[in-house]
Every structure is written in C-alpha cells, then in structure tokens.
Copies of this chain bind each other. A is one copy, B any other.
C-alpha cells in the first residue's frame, strides 16, 4: 500500500492524504480522521526512501566503527553504549546504521557516508589523538557527536560526551598510594586512543604528586580482553618485584586478573590490590557481593543515551551551539583493595 493507492481509495489527492497524516493544519478534522483510520486499517507506512528523498531527512543515524581499533564492535563496552543510544532512537523513531570501516581509507568512508545521504548524523567512536575525523566531518557539514574527545589541539567546536578519565584514574591511583602501594601496575586500553592517554595521564599525575617514579614495565596497553588481564598478571607476578596493586581499565580485564590470582593463590585485597574501571556493563554487574571490585564507576550506557540526545538535538537544529558533557566517575570501595603488604 502506497500513498497513491491510499489516496485513490479515499478519493482524495495525495497532497491531502500526506498532509492529513503529517499533521498539517489545512485539513479538516473529519478527513484527517478518515485518512488516519484508513491508513491504520491498510497498514500504510510511508516508504522511508521516498520520504528521505523528498525531505532530505532520513530519520537514521550512523555509528561508524573503525576497524583500526581491532575489533571495537565486539567490545562489550561498545555494546552497552549502543544499547543506551538505541533507547533514544527507538523513542524518536530513528534507525541506527552500523558501518564497520576498514582503516585503510577512513576519510573516504566518511565522505561516502555523507554523500550516500543515508543518515542525518553520526556518532564517532573511539577518538584517537588529534583525530582527523573531526575536521573532516566539520568540513562536510554533517552533524556528529563524539563519544570521548580528541585532544585540545583540534578546534573545539564539536559536541562530545566523555567521562573524566584523567580524574578517575588519578583518584584511583591516589587511593592506592594512600594505602601504601608504590608499585602499581596499569593495565590500560590501547594508548592510541584518547581515553587511554588521559587515563595514563591521571595515573602518572598521582604518582608524580607522591614522588613515586613510574616503572615502564608496570604499564601495559592493550585491547581490554579478559586474557590481557590474565596474561599481564601472570607476567607481573613471576617477576622479582611484582606490583602490589593493579589498576585495570575495564571489569573484563579485572576478571582476567582475578583468574590469574586464583591460579597463583593470591588473595585480592590482601596479596594484591585491584581497582577496575566499571562501565556498568549489563552483563557484568559489579554488585555488592563479598567479591565486589573496588572501582571507578561511570555508566557507558548513560553515555550512549546522552550522545544520542545531543545528536538528535543537533539534527533538529544544526545552529544550536555544540554541547560538551563531562561525566565524573564515582569511586566505589569494594573488597579488592587493602593496605600494601609489608615486604
């Protein structure tokens, strides 16, 4: 059933039917109801492509996942972000397009997305240092919101939603230092990514403030898998002077650390302290059990929701000033931290 058929059925022009359906005032209440009823009865739904062609609006947004960050799509953090965003999309009747772009020619990919005209705006994932995509999207003139930030050298006139990564990791590190730890391992995410750079900076800043020299061996940077946590802990603990505490960039890495500990017969919070960053992942609740992790917590689902909101806002009104949202993480005290063991 299309507009033409429906209007023929009703003995009305396409114009009138279209207006009736879209709530324009120049239609009598009587016909509006008649049209609405018929549309419902015959399951009439406007063809989005045609609608998009005519209006220039697609009612869809794109999420572009660079393949360069290895497999960001499969990152549970990404998944929870998407879930948050799609709450807004469902509500606003927007579609979500997922595009995985190979890193070979990212610029071309974004240009393509823009000229294909299949989305009204995009969310930029996994910003790196001085991310070229920002300038690119600005020049193309496509509305976008960045999940995270790029560093400050780039023109700041873009919308972003970020967590205060530096502050969170600074606090966590300081918390460990206050407990007497001096050898603190950092299992960071990929340090090509902006968030990881900031976390590293926070960690470093707390060490500096306490006058503790940092040990390059204790700082690792990888994709945040369970295995990464496991392998790193195993490597750390077969060393002469293992760290007495570890800061892990994700609960998933933390799970790997825990597995290594149980294999090595170390008790978390006693033999080894652990603080994780808790994104509030739906499948990995860091609840109030005896084994709760000490954590910096900030909901990535909420971040997704906020990003989507900002994007909707920008699409609706492109001239609105670009907003920035910086979320602070809470510090949750669990059972995985304790005073540094005496040597």
Chain A interface residues toward B at CB < 8 A: 1, 43-50, 52-53, 58, 60, 71, 73-76, 78-80, 82-83, 86-87, 89-90, 95-102, 111-112, 115-118, 224-227, 230, 252, 255, 258-259, 262-263, 281-285, 287, 289-291, 301
A230 contact set on B, CB distance < 8 A: 289, 291
A258 contact set on B, CB distance < 8 A: 259, 262
Closest to A111 in B: B43
Select one of B71, B80, B285 contacting A226, CB under 8 A. Answer: B285
Can you show 18 pairs from A to B with CB atoms below 8 A apart?
A: A1-B115, A43-B115, A45-B111, A45-B116, A47-B115, A47-B116, A50-B53, A71-B83, A74-B76, A83-B100, A90-B101, A95-B97, A95-B98, A95-B118, A97-B98, A98-B98, A230-B291, A255-B255
Indicate if the CB atoms of A45 and B227 lie closer than 8 Å: no
Indicate if the CB atoms of B283 and A225 lie closer than 8 Å: yes
CA distance A49 to B281 in the complex (A): 36
The list of the 3 closest CB pairs from A to B, nearest first, reads A45-B115, A74-B282, A48-B116
Closest to A230 in B: B289
Given A49-B58, A258-B262, A262-B291, 9 new contacts (CB under 8 A): A43-B115, A45-B115, A49-B49, A74-B282, A95-B118, A97-B97, A230-B289, A259-B291, A262-B262
Number of copies: 2
A76 contact set on B, CB distance < 8 A: 74, 76, 79, 283
Indicate if the CB atoms of A282 and B49 lie closer than 8 Å: no
A227 contact set on B, CB distance < 8 A: 284-285, 287
| Shortest beta-carbon distance from A177 to chain B in Å | 27
A45 contact set on B, CB distance < 8 A: 111-112, 115-116
CA distance A259 to B286 in the complex (A): 12
Indicate if the CB atoms of A283 and B75 lie closer than 8 Å: yes
Closest to A335 in B: B263
Select one of B98, B289, B301 contacting A96, CB under 8 A. Answer: B98
